[in-house]
Amino acid sequence: MISRLKLMDFRCYGSFSWQIPQQGAIILGNNARGKTSLLEAVCFLLRLQSPRTARTGPLVSHGKQSFGIRGELPGQIRRILWAPDAPDLRVNGEPRKDQRSYLADSYPVVWMGNDDLSLVQAGADARRKYMDFLGSQWHPGYRLALFSYRRALKTRNYLLKHRHRDKLQLDAYTRQLALHGTELRNLRANLLALLAPHIALAYRNIGGRQEQVSIAYRASEEGDLYERLCASMDRDIRYGQTQNGPHRDDLDITLNGRNAAQFASEGQQRTTAISMKLAQSSLLTEETGHTPIHLIDDVFGELDPTRRIAFLQSLPADAQSLITTTHLDWLHNAPCPLPAFRLEDGALAPL
207 is in an annotated binding site: no
Is 6 annotated to bind a ligand? Reply is no
Cβ pair 192, 218 in contact under 8 A: no
Ligand-binding site membership of 33 (annotated) = yes
Residues in the chain: 351
Residue 186's region, left for phi above 0, alpha for psi from -120 to 50, else beta, is: alpha
Does 35 show up as a binding residue in the annotation?
A: yes
Report strand pairing: 250-255 vs 213-218: antiparallel
Q: Do residues 311 and 64 make contact, with C-beta atoms less than 8 angstroms apart?
A: no
Phi, psi of 216 (to 5 degrees): -140, 145
Known binding residue 154? Answer is no
Number of other CB atoms surrounding residue 277 within 10 Å: 22
Tell me if 190 is assigned to a ligand binding site: no
End-to-end CA distance of the chain: 22
Tell which residue, 245, 338, 322, 239, has the closest CA to residue 46.
Answer: 322
Cα(150)–Cα(300) distance, rounded to whole angstroms? 36
Listed residue (101, 122, 113) closest to 50, CA to CA: 113
Q: Contact 292/284 with Cβ under 8 angstroms?
A: yes
Say how far residue 56 (Cα) sits from the centre of its chain.
Answer: 15
- What is the spatial order of strands in the sheet that 340-344 belongs to? 109-113, 293-297, 321-325, 24-28, 340-344, 347-350
Rounded to whole angstroms, the Cα distance separating 284 from 229 reads 34
Kindly give the residue spans of alpha helices, DSSP state H, lying in 92-123.
99-103, 118-121
| Residues near 186 by beta carbon (within 8 Å), at least 6 away in sequence | none
Which residues are annotated as part of the binding site for ATP? 29-36
Which residues are annotated as part of the binding site? 29-36
